[in-house]
C-alpha cells in the first residue's frame, strides 16, 4: 500500500456467462476522491464488472487491486471489509423490516441482543452528516423508491465504505430526486469517498463525473478519460459504436374519432394501496398519447385496467363500448392490443416456439384454427411471413422464443400485436433494454401504426422517447395525471416538475 | 350426559390434558417456524418425529434413563435435519418433494427398527408429573398448568424464547432476512446456507424431541406410525400461527383442546359417532386454515432455493 496508488485498479477482467462474454479484458481505474462514470448501453456489462468488485462474481481472469493491495474476493463480505459498498440496480432490501434492521443486518455489532433505539440514533447522526434523510423506524415497504435508495447508501456508509459503487441510481428517480442524489454524491467525495457511478445517460455523466470509462458489449471503448477532454457526441459514439441521431420523422396528420376514453378511473395495486386516482384520458384515431413519469407511479396499473387485467372503478370505453372490469378477451375483440412491460413473463411463453407464440392470440381464427383444431402448417407459414416482414432474427419458426435476444423478442410481440390491425394499442416500455438498432425499428413500427389510424397509448419511463413520439403527453405521478400538454409546446422543466408531483396544470 | 361435560372436574381434566396434548405440536411447530422463517419448508417433520419417538423410546427402555432418551431423539432428529439441509441447500432439491421423501423414509425406517429391535408393543414409565410447589396448590389453575410433566414446561418456555430470538436478536434478524430476501442478506455478507443449515437442523432436533414427548411422556409406548399425521398438523399450525411463536402456541392449544374434548366425549360415552368425534379437530384445522391463511403473507423466499448470481 502507498498513498499514490489509486483507490481501485481492475485489470484485464474477464467474466463469462453461458453464451455471453460479459466482460472482455476490461480495465478500470478509480482515483481517490473522484466520481468516475461507467457508461454503456443496457447489457454492456457494467453491472457484471461491478458485481465482481463487490465480491458477488469471481472473474475468470484478471486482477483487482484496492489501494495498491492485490485482492481476491470470495464473497460480498470480503469486499465490505476492504471498504467497498455497492448500491445495486435492484435494491437489496428486506421489505418487511425497518430501516435500522436493514442497515444492521450482517454486522457484528450489536452482538446478539438488539436494542434498536441506540442504533436509530447512530443512523440519524449518519443521515445528518450526508444529508440522507429517512425515518429509521419505518418499514422498507412503506418508503418511496427514492427513500429506499437512501437506505441503500446508508447501508454502505454505516459499514464504513469509502469506495461506493452506484448501479444506475438515477433510473428510478424523478428529476428533483436526481438533483438531490448528485448533491449527496458531491458531499461524499468532499468527505474523501470515491464513487463509481453507473449510467447510460450521457447528460448525467457530463453533469457530475470527473472521469469516464465507456463499455460496449463487454469491451472498454474509453478508459478513464477526463471529462475535460471529451464531448457528448464523442461519448455517444463510443457507447453505441456509431453516430446516433434520434430525429424521428413524425408527420402531422388529421386525427380521427375518439377510440379510447376513460373517465375517473381508480385502481389499487397488488398491495391493496391506491395506484390510480381518478384518471381521465382519451386517445383518438391516429394519435399517440404518451404517459411520462417515474417508474412505479401507476403506469403498470394503467395498462392493466385498459387490457382487462386489473379491476377498477370508473369507466373505460373502446369505440363506445364499455370494457372496464370485463375479461381481457372483450378488450381483444374490440381491437385492443397490448405490448406488456415484461417481455418474458407476460409477453411470451419463453419455452414455446415462435409459432406457438405468434398464434397465441389468433389461434381460433380461420385459417389457422377452426375453433378447436389448429392447422400447424398454416400457422408456421404465417409465422415465417411475420418473421421476414418484421425482420426477426431467429434460426427458425420452431426456435423457443426465450432463445431470442431482447430486441427480436420484442419485434415478435409487436408482430403478433400489430398484425391484427389493432384499433387501440397499449405499449408499455416498448424499447426498454434494447440496442439502438432495435429501438429505431420498434419506434418506426409504432409510428406506422399511427399513420394507419390506430390510437396508441405509449407508456415509457424514457422521457426522450415520450417526447419524440407522442402527439400529446400526460404526466403521471403517484397515480394522478398531473397535466396533459401538447408535444408542440413542451416545456421540459414543467414536465420535470409534474413528474415530481409538484404542480397541477390542466389544459 | 352432555351435562357431564360441564362439571368442574371434567372441564379441568379437558384443559389439563389439552395442554399436555399440545406439547408435541409445540416442539415441532416452533422448530418448523424457524426453518420456514428462513425460507425452508420442511414437510419431513412427521418422519423426523417418528424416528425421534423410536430412538427416545428404545434408549429410554434399554438404559432406563429418560434423559438419555431425549438426547437420542435430539441426535436422530438433528441428523435427519442435516440430511434435509444438505439435500435442499446444497443440492437445491425441491423442498416439498424432498420433505415428503424424508417423511416416507422416517415412516419406513422407524417401523423396520421397531419390528427388528422390539417386535412387540412395550411400555416405558414415562416422565412423571411434576407438581410445582405452591403454584400447583392453586385451585383449578394449579391443576391445569402446574401438574404436568417436565417436557410440557419446557415446551411452554420455548414459546417466549423463540419469540425473543426471532425478533430481538441479530440471529433472528438474519433468519428473517434470509427468508424474505436472501439476495439482500448475501450482499451484506450473511451466509444464507449457514443460516438455513442452522434452522433446518434446529427444526429436525425439535421434531425429534416432539417425537420423544409422545413416546416417553404422553403415550409411553411405541408402535408403527405412532404419530399418525401429527407432524403434518404441526406444519399446518405454523401457517395457522402466521409464522409467529405466539400464534403457533394459540393454534396448538386450540387444536389440542378440541382433541381433548373429543377424547372426553368418548370417555363419557356421549352419543356422538366416534368417527365424527375423531374427525372434529382435523375439520377444524382445515376450516381455520382456510379462514386465516390469507391474513398474513408467508416469508417471501419460502420454498425457494438460493444460489448467488441468479
Ligand atoms: N447471471 C447471469 N447469467 C447469464 N447472463 C448474464 C447474467 N448477468 C448478466 N448476464 C448477461 O451479461 C451481459 C451483461 O449484463 P450486465 O452486466 O447486466 O449489463 P449492464 O449492467 O451493462 O446493463 C448481458 O448480455 C446479460 O444478458
Ligand atoms: Mg446493469
- Express each pLDDT in B242-267 by its tens digit: 999 999 999 999 889 988 888 888 88
Q: Which residues of B touch A (CB under 8 A)?
A: 168-171, 173-174, 176-177, 180-181, 183-191, 300, 308-309
Per-chain mean pLDDT for chain A: 88
Q: Around ion ligand 2, which residues have CB less than 5 A away?
A: A 47
- DSSP string of A388-438? HHTT---S-TTSBGGGS-HHHHHHHHHHHHHHT--SEEEEESTTTT--HHH
Residues A209 and A196 in one domain: yes
Contacts of A80 in chain B (CB under 8 A): 188-189
Residues A155 and A229 in one domain: yes
In this predicted structure, which of A27-36, A228-237, A458-467, B153-162 has the lowest mean pLDDT? Answer: A228-237
Query: CA of A76, closest CA in chain B: separation in Å?
Result: 5
Residues A126 and A197 in one domain: yes
Residue A3 lies in a domain: no
Residue ending a domain, among A378, A406, A421, is A421
Residues A125 and A213 in one domain: yes
Is pLDDT above 90 for A296? Answer: no
What per-residue confidence (pLDDT) applies to B194? 96
CATH of the domain at A193: 3.40.50.300
What per-residue confidence (pLDDT) applies to B309? 62
Do residues A482 and A475 make contact, with C-beta atoms less than 8 angstroms apart? Answer: yes
Per-residue pLDDT tens digits for B13-54: 889 999 999 999 999 999 999 999 999 999 999 999 999 999
State which fold the B2-292 domain adopts.
Answer: ABC transporter involved in vitamin B12 uptake, BtuC (1.10.3470)
What value does the mean pLDDT take over residues A165-186? 88
Residues A99 and A220 in one domain: yes
Residues A392 and A448 in one domain: no
Residues A126 and A226 in one domain: yes
Residue ending a domain, among A215, A240, A265, is A240
Residue A113 lies in a domain: yes
Percent of chain B with pLDDT over 70: 96
Residues A79 and A114 in one domain: yes
Is pLDDT above 60 for A504? Answer: no
Is pLDDT above 60 for A468? Answer: yes
Residue ranges making up the domain that contains A61: 8-240
Measured CA to CA, the distance from residue A355 to residue A349 in angstroms comes to: 11
Do residues A177 and A153 make contact, with C-beta atoms less than 8 angstroms apart? Answer: no
Is pLDDT above 50 for A100? Answer: yes
Q: Could you tell me the sign of the dihedral formed by the alpha carbons of A152, A154, A156, A159, in that order?
A: negative
What per-residue confidence (pLDDT) applies to A499? 82
Q: Pairing mode, if any, of strands A258-268 and A313-318? A: antiparallel
Is pLDDT above 60 for B1? Answer: no
Query: Could you identify the atom of ligand 1 that is nearest to the CA of residue A51?
Result: 17
Q: What is the CA radius of gyration of chain A?
A: 25
Residues A441 and A324 in one domain: yes
Measured CA to CA, the distance from residue B119 to residue B67 in angstroms comes to: 23
Is pLDDT above 90 for B163? Answer: yes
Residue A2 lies in a domain: no
Do residues A425 and A454 make contact, with C-beta atoms less than 8 angstroms apart? Answer: yes
Percent of chain A with pLDDT over 90: 48
Of B170, B177, B189, the CB nearest to A94: B177
∠ at Cα A160 (A156, A162), nearest 5°? Answer: 85
The residue among A375 and B99 whose pLDDT is bigger is B99
What value does the mean pLDDT take over residues A292-297? 84
Chain B interface, mutation test: which of A77, A101, A106, most B Cβ atoms within 10 Å?
Answer: A106
What per-residue confidence (pLDDT) applies to B23? 96
Residues A79 and A147 in one domain: yes
Could you tell me the distance, in angstroms and rounded to a whole number, from the CA of residue A86 to the centre of ligand 2? 12
Residues A316 and A204 in one domain: no
What per-residue confidence (pLDDT) applies to A247? 59
Per-chain mean pLDDT for chain B: 91
Q: Which residues contact B161 (CB under 8 A, 6 or more apart)?
A: none
The CA dihedral of A304, A305, A309, A313, to the nearest 10 degrees, is 150
Strand-pair partners of A225: A212
Contacts of B185 in chain A (CB under 8 A): 94, 105-106
Query: Could you identify the atom of ligand 1 that is nearest to the CA of residue A44?
Result: 22
Grid-cell match 411470451, residue found: A348
Q: Best-predicted range by mean pLDDT among A160-164, A252-256, A291-295, B137-141?
A: A160-164
Residue A321 lies in a domain: yes
Identify the nearest ligand to the CA of A38 by its number.
1
What per-residue confidence (pLDDT) applies to A196? 97
- Alpha helices, DSSP H only, in A202-342? 202-208, 232-240, 299-306, 328-333
What value does the mean pLDDT take over residues A228-246? 73
Q: Best-predicted range by mean pLDDT among A42-46, A338-342, A382-386, A419-423?
A: A382-386
Cis peptide bond prior to A367, omega within 30° of 0: yes
Residue A44 lies in a domain: yes
What value does the mean pLDDT take over residues A258-271? 91
CA-to-CA separations, A368 to A8, A374, A398, A399, in angstroms, rounded:
60, 6, 16, 19
Do residues A103 and A110 make contact, with C-beta atoms less than 8 angstroms apart? Answer: no
**What DSSP designation does B299 have?**
P
Q: Whose CA is nearest to atom 7 of ligand 1?
A: A17
Per-residue pLDDT tens digits for B265-286: 888 878 888 788 788 878 877 8
Give A145: exposed, middle or buried? Use CB within 10 Å, 0-12, 13-18, 19+. middle
What per-residue confidence (pLDDT) applies to B294? 64
Grid-cell match 412427521, residue found: B46
Could you tell me the distance, in angstroms and rounded to a whole number, from the CA of residue A47 to the centre of ligand 2? 4
What burial letters (b/e) apply to A425-434, b meaning 16+ CB within 10 Å?
bbbbbbbbeb
Residue ending a domain, among A402, A421, A440, is A421
Beta carbons of B184 and A102 less than 8 Å apart: yes
Q: Which residues contact B257 (CB under 8 A, 6 or more apart)?
A: B14, B15, B18
pTM: 0.77
- Confidence category of residue A252, pLDDT binned at 50, 70, 90: confident
Question: What is the grid cell recorded at A463?
Answer: 422521457
Task: Classify A464 as helix, strand or coil.
Answer: helix
What per-residue confidence (pLDDT) applies to A503? 60
Q: Which residue of B has its CA nearest to A98?
A: B173
What per-residue confidence (pLDDT) applies to A106? 86
Could you tell me the distance, in angstroms and rounded to a whole number, from the CA of residue A276 to the centre of ligand 1? 33
Measured CA to CA, the distance from residue A29 to residue A25 in angstroms comes to: 13
The number of distinct structural domains making up chain A is 3
- Confidence category of residue A245, pLDDT binned at 50, 70, 90: low
Is pLDDT above 80 for A344? Answer: no
What value does the mean pLDDT take over residues A449-475? 91
Percent of chain A with pLDDT over 70: 97
Could you tell me the distance, in angstroms and rounded to a whole number, from the CA of residue A171 to the centre of ligand 2? 11
Measured CA to CA, the distance from residue B22 to residue B5 in angstroms comes to: 20
∠ at Cα A240 (A490, A17), nearest 5°? Answer: 125
Do residues A58 and A52 make contact, with C-beta atoms less than 8 angstroms apart? Answer: yes
What value does the mean pLDDT take over residues B134-146? 87
In this predicted structure, which of A246-250, A261-265, B53-57 has the lowest mean pLDDT? Answer: A246-250
Amino acid at each position: 500500500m502507498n498513498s499514490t496508488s489509486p483507490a481501485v485498479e481492475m485489470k484485464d477482467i474477464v467474466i463469462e456467462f453461458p453464451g455471453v462474454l460479459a466482460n472482455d479484458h476490461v480495465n478500470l481505474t478509480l482515483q481517490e476522491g473522484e466520481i468516475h462514470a461507467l457508461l454503456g448501453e443496457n447489457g454492456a456489462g457494467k453491472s457484471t464488472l461491478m458485481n465482481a468488485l463487490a465480491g458477488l462474481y469471481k472473474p475468470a481472469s484478471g486482477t483487482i487491486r484496492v489501494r495498491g493491495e492485490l485482492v481476491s474476493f470470495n464473497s460480498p463480505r470480503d469486499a465490505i471489509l476492504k471498504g467497498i459498498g455497492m448500491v445495486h440496480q435492484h435494491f437489496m432490501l428486506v421489505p418487511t423490516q425497518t430501516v435500522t434492521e436493514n442497515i444492521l443486518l450482517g454486522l457484528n455489532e450489536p452482538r446478539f441482543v438488539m436494542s434498536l433505539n441506540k442504533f436509530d440514533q447512530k443512523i440519524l447522526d449518519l443521515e445528518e452528516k450526508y444529508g440522507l434523510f429517512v425515518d429509521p423506524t419505518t418499514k422498507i415497504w412503506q418508503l418511496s423508491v427514492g427513500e429506499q435508495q437512501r437506505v441503500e447508501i446508508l447501508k454502505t456508509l454505516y459499514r464504513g465504505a469509502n469506495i461506493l459503487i452506484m448501479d444506475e441510481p438515477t433510473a428510478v428517480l424523478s428529476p428533483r430526486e436526481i438533483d438531490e442524489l448528485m448533491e449527496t454524491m458531491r458531499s461524499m467525495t468532499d468527505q474523501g469517498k470515491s464513487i463509481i457511478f453507473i449510467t447510460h445517460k450521457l447528460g448525467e455523466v457530463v453533469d457530475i463525473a470527473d472521469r469516464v470509462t465507456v463499455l460496449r458489449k463487454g469491451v472498454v471503448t474509453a478508459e478513464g478519460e477526463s471529462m475535460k477532454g471529451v464531448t457528448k457526441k464523442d461519448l455517444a459514439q463510443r457507447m453505441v459504436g456509431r453516430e446516433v441521431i434520434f430525429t424521428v420523422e413524425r408527420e402531422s396528420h388529421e386525427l380521427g374519432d375518439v377510440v379510447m376514453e376513460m373517465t375517473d378511473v381508480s385502481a389499487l395495486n397488488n398491495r391493496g394501496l391506491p395506484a390510480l386516482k381518478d384518471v381521465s384520458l382519451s386517445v383518438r384515431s391516429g394519435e399517440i398519447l404518451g404517459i411520462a413519469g417515474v417508474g412505479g407511479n401507476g403506469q403498470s396499473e394503467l395498462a392493466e385496467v385498459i387490457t382487462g387485467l386489473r379491476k377498477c372503478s370508473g369507466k373505460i370505453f373502446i369505440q363506445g363500448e364499455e370494457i372496464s372490469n370485463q375479461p381481457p378477451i372483450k378488450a381483444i375483440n374490440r381491437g385492443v392490443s397490448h405490448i406488456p412491460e415484461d417481455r418474458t413473463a407476460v409477453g411470451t411463453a419463453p419455452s414455446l416456439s415462435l409459432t406457438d407464440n405468434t398464434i397465441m392470440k389468433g389461434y381460433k381464427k380461420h385459417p389457422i384454427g377452426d375453433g378447436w383444431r389448429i392447422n400447424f402448417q398454416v400457422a408456421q407459414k404465417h409465422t415465417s411471413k411475420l418473421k421476414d416482414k418484421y425482420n426477426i432474427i431467429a434460426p427458425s419458426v420452431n426456435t423457443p422464443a426465450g432463445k431470442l435476444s431482447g430486441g427480436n423478442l420484442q419485434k415478435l410481440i409487436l408482430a403478433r400485436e400489430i398484425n391484427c390491425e389493432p384499433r387501440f394499442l397499449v405499449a408499455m416500455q416498448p424499447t426498454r433494454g434494447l440496442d439502438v438498432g432495435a429501438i429505431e425499428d420498434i419506434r418506426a413500427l409504432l409510428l406506422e401504426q399511427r399513420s394507419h389510424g390506430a390510437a396508441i397509448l405509449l407508456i415509457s419511463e424514457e422521457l426522450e422517447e415520450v417526447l419524440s413520439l407522442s402527439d400529446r403527453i400526460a404526466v403521471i405521478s403517484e397515480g394522478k395525471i398531473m397535466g396533459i400538454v401538447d408535444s408542440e409546446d413542451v416545456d421540459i422543466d414543467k414536465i420535470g416538475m409534474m413528474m415530481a408531483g409538484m404542480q397541477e396544470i390542466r389544459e | 350426559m352432555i351435562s357431564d361435560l360441564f362439571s368442574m372436574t371434567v372441564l379441568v381434566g379437558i384443559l389439563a390434558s389439552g395442554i399436555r396434548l399440545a406439547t408435541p405440536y409445540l416442539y415441532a411447530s416452533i422448530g418448523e417456524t424457524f426453518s420456514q422463517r428462513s425460507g425452508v419448508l420442511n414437510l419431513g417433520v412427521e418422519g423426523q418425529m417418528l424416528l425421534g419417538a423410536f430412538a427416545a423410546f428404545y434408549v429410554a427402555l434399554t438404559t432406563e434413563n429418560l434423559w438419555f432418551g431425549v438426547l437420542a431423539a435430539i441426535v436422530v432428529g438433528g441428523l435427519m435435519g442435516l440430511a434435509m439441509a444438505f439435500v435442499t441447500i446444497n443440492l437445491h432439491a425441491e423442498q416439498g418433494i424432498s420433505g415428503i421423501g424424508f417423511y416416507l423414509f422416517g415412516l419406513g425406517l422407524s417401523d423396520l427398527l421397531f419390528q427388528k429391535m422390539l417386535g412387540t408393543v412395550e411400555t416405558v414409565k414415562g416422565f412423571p408429573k411434576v407438581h410445582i410447589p405452591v403454584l400447583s396448590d392453586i385451585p383449578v389453575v394449579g391443576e391445569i398448568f402446574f401438574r404436568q410433566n417436565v417436557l410440557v414446561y419446557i415446551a411452554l418456555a420455548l414459546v417466549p424464547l423463540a419469540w425473543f430470538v426471532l425478533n430481538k436478536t441479530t440471529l433472528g434478524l438474519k433468519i428473517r432476512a434470509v427468508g424474505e430476501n436472501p439476495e439482500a442478506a448475501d450482499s451484506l455478507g450473511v451466509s444464507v446456507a449457514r443460516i438455513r443449515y442452522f434452522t433446518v437442523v434446529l427444526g429436525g432436533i425439535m421434531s425429534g424431541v416432539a417425537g420423544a414427548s409422545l413416546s416417553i411422556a404422553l403415550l409411553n409406548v411405541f408402535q408403527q406410525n405412532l404419530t399418525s399425521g401429527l407432524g403434518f398438523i404441526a406444519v399446518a399450525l405454523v401457517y395457522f400461527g402466521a409464522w409467529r411463536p405466539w400464534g403457533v402456541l394459540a393454534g396448538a392449544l386450540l387444536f389440542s383442546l378440541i382433541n381433548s374434548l373429543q377424547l372426553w366425549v368418548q370417555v363419557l360415552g356421549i352419543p356422538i359417532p366416534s368417527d365424527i368425534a375423531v374427525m372434529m379437530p382435523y375439520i377444524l384445522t382445515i376450516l381455520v386454515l382456510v379462514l386465516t391463511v390469507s391474513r398474513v403473507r408467508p416469508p417471501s423466499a419460502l420454498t425457494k432455493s438460493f444460489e448467488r448470481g441468479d
